[in-house]
């Protein structure tokens, strides 16, 4: 009973049910047609024989009427005619119903509607013949045909021929047996084809089910081989793609948790050690206590910033960040960011410049988020640019139409090729030694946040760098449409 619940079994059974019903209906229709055709053929053959014999009897009966021959003569003539057809029974009746000759040698009773209905059918039928299938006095199923013997439109006698239906039925049974065997062969072939087809459909689905079960148990490496019809192949490919993305997301999540734990452990460790030192007597030394408290405050600020960055990044990646987009003056925001970092750049002995190409169009975006991207890129450049270095902020037309590009170019140590593809990952640091001495260590999330914001604005972000030649971070922003610019004004 359990096997009937499987898709393979149900497909095979449904296929067989339709096939059996169709073949059964065709077999019944064909069998009925074969049986009727057999009877029609027997009637046709007996009709032809009866017509020929009736034409032949016209002259002997005329001779009998003229007393030229005896009734025994007609019996002998008919016996001779049917000597090669022993199954044919004949009876000749006069118009008044009296029998004249019979194949049995014994005269039957006078014809009436009970014992010879086909005779009266021939007398009353415009076609001058009567056909009946009935049992004879011995209970044998017979086919009777009666035809009129006429002379110049005058009925002079009635000829009745009969043949057992057994031969006709045996012929029909043989044909029906052949039909049945053929139907069974066809049904077997259809069943095998249905099984192959069902297996072709069910096997890929079973593979998908097994793979899904493995993933449910935590085996994220489970994959399926595309097989079967095109739709199932596409389903398998979509499943593999989904599994790849899920495994990648899980790996990223694990890496994120590991990195976040590592990043959180360092400031917490510092806070714990400084707190224990203060409890163990460092509070007595005001100078040391003040330094420890400053370090604790610094680490707490770092923790607060990291947590805020994590929350912001999670909101943006989950699509929960503000989605309102308005035309934004990128040049104005870049000027504000330059002014914000002017003092810090001066303290770091780094020259910070801004170059905006004339006649730039507004971009479509969220002003606070765009400002944060520029802020993070400039802050990152200051951290990695040595003293007496330069940082250029540039706004230029993008590589494509309706794109505006913002660049931050520094003269820092550059990024090794193997690190370039990872710089926008969360908590990734190419080389801690490349950071400016004395600079507060960041959360490792600034570039990841910038990437998320730019991509949410349907833009692109990237970096070009070589070791010893500095780095250039760039972002491409879609410009606002003309109708939006008009509407905002």
* CATH architecture under which domain 230-315 falls: Orthogonal Bundle (1.10)
| Beta-strand runs (E) in 62-166 | 89-93, 99-102, 129-135, 141-151, 154-164
Beta carbons within 8 Å of 464's beta carbon, 6+ residues apart: 471, 472, 474
Q: Order across the sheet with 99-102: list the strands.
A: 99-102, 89-93, 154-164, 141-151, 129-135
The Cα 376–Cα 341 span in angstroms is 11
pLDDT band of residue 434 (cuts 50, 70, 90) is low
Domain ranges within the chain, ordered by starting residue: 2-170, 230-315, 323-488
Torsion angle of C-alpha atoms 167, 172, 174, 179, degrees rounded to 10: 180
Whole-number pLDDT of residue 276: 86
Residue 369 and residue 453 in contact, taking contact as beta carbons nearer than 8 Å:
yes
Residue-wise pLDDT tens digits, 257-315: 766 676 677 778 888 888 888 888 877 888 888 888 888 888 888 788 777 767 766 66
Residue 156 and residue 54 in contact, taking contact as beta carbons nearer than 8 Å:
no
pLDDT band of residue 242 (cuts 50, 70, 90) is confident
Whole-number pLDDT of residue 487: 45
Backbone phi and psi for residue 84, each to the nearest 5 degrees, phi listed first: -90, 0
Residue-wise pLDDT tens digits, 188-197: 887 777 777 7
Whole-number pLDDT of residue 1: 40
pLDDT band of residue 256 (cuts 50, 70, 90) is low
Please compute the mean of the pLDDT values over residues 25-53 and round it to a whole number.
85
The Cα 462–Cα 415 span in angstroms is 13
Please compute the mean of the pLDDT values over residues 203-212 and round it to a whole number.
81
Whole-number pLDDT of residue 233: 82
Whole-number pLDDT of residue 24: 79
DSSP H stretches of helix in 427-474:
446-456
pLDDT band of residue 318 (cuts 50, 70, 90) is low
Q: Report the DSSP beta bridge partners of residue 131.
A: 145
Please compute the mean of the pLDDT values over residues 41-69 and round it to a whole number.
89
Whole-number pLDDT of residue 378: 95
Whole-number pLDDT of residue 482: 57
- CATH number of 323-488, picked from 2.40.340.10, 3.20.20.10, 3.30.565.10, 3.30.300.10: 3.30.565.10
The Cα 232–Cα 122 span in angstroms is 71
Mean pLDDT of the chain: 83
Please compute the mean of the pLDDT values over residues 91-117 and round it to a whole number.
91
Return the DSSP state at 479.
B
Least Cα distance to 160 among 106, 119, 99 occurs for 119
Per-residue pLDDT at 335 exceeds 50: yes
Domains 230-315 and 323-488 belong to one CATH topology: no
Please compute the mean of the pLDDT values over residues 114-125 and round it to a whole number.
91
Per-residue pLDDT at 199 exceeds 60: yes
Q: Report the DSSP beta bridge partners of residue 149.
A: 157
The Cα 378–Cα 354 span in angstroms is 11
Top mean pLDDT of 20-34, 123-137, 401-415, 439-453 is at 401-415
Q: Look-up: residue for tokens 């118009």?
A: 95
Residue 403 and residue 476 in contact, taking contact as beta carbons nearer than 8 Å:
yes
Whole-model pTM?
A: 0.49
10 Å Cβ neighbour count for 351? Answer: 14
Name the region of 97 (left: φ>0; alpha: ψ -120 to 50; beta: rest).
left
Whole-number pLDDT of residue 483: 42
The Cα 209–Cα 232 span in angstroms is 12
Q: What is 2-170's CATH number? A: 3.30.450.20
Helix (H, G, I), strand (E, B) or coil at 120: helix
Return the minimum-mean-pLDDT range out of 64-73, 383-392, 437-446: 437-446
Per the model's pLDDT, the better-predicted residue between 4 and 420 turns out to be 420
Q: Order across the sheet with 460-465: list the strands.
A: 350-356, 389-397, 403-410, 471-478, 460-465
Whole-number pLDDT of residue 4: 58
């Amino acid at each position: 009973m359990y096997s009937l619940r499987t898709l393979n079994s149900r497909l095979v059974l449904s296929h067989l049910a339709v096939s059996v019903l169709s073949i059964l209906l065709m077999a019944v229709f064909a069998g009925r047609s074969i049986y009727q055709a057999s009877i029609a053929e027997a009637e046709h053959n007996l009709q032809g024989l009866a017509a020929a014999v009736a034409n032949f009897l016209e002259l002997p009966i005329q001779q009998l009427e003229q007393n030229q021959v005896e009734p025994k003569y007609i019996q002998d003539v008919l016996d001779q005619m049917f000597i090669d057809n022993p199954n044919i029974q004949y009876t000749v009746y006069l118009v008044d119903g009296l029998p004249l000759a019979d194949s049995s040698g014994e005269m039957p009773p006078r014809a009436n509607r009970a014992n010879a209905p086909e005779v009266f059918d021939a007398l009353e039928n415009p076609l001058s013949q009567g056909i009946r299938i009935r049992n004879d006095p011995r209970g044998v199923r017979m086919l009777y045909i009666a035809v009129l013997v006429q002379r110049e439109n005058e009925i002079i006698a009635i000829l009745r021929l009969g043949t057992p239906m057994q031969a006709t039925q045996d012929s029909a049974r043989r044909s029906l047996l052949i039909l049945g065997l053929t139907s069974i062969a066809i049904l077997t072939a259809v069943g095998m084809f249905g099984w192959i087809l069902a297996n072709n459909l069910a096997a890929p689905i079973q593979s998908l089910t097994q793979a899904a079960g493995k993933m449910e148990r935590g085996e994220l490496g489970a994959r399926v081989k595309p097989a079967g019809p095109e739709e199932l192949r596409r389903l398998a490919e979509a499943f593999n793609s989904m599994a790849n993305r899920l495994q990648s997301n899980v790996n990223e999540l694990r890496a994120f948790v590991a990195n976040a734990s590592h990043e959180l452990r360092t400031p917490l460790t510092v806070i714990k050690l400084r707190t224990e030192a203060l409890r163990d007597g460092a509070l007595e030394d005001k100078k040391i206590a003040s330094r420890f408290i400053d370090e604790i405050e610094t680490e707490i600020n770092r923790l607060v910033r990291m947590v805020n960055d994590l929350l912001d990044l999670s909101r943006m990646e989950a699509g929960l960040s503000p989605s309102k987009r308005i035309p934004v003056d990128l040049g104005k925001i870049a000027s504000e960011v330059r002014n914000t970092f002017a003092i810090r750049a001066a303290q770091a002995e780094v020259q910070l410049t801004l170059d905006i190409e004339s006649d730039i169009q507004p971009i479509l975006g969220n002003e606070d988020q765009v400002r944060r991207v520029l802020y993070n890129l400039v802050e990152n450049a200051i951290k990695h640019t040595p003293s007496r270095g330069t940082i250029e902020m540039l706004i230029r037309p993008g590589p494509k139409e309706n794109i505006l590009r913002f660049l931050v170019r520094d003269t820092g140590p550059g990024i090794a090729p193997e690190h370039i593809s990872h710089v926008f990952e969360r908590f990734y640091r190419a080389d801690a030694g490349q950071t400016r001495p004395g600079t507060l260590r960041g959360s490792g999330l600034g570039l990841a946040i910038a990437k998320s914001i730019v991509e949410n604005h349907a833009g692109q972000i990237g970096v070009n760098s070589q070791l010893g030649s500095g780095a250039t971070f760039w972002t491409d922003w879609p410009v606002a449409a003309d109708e939006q610019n008009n509407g905002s004004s």
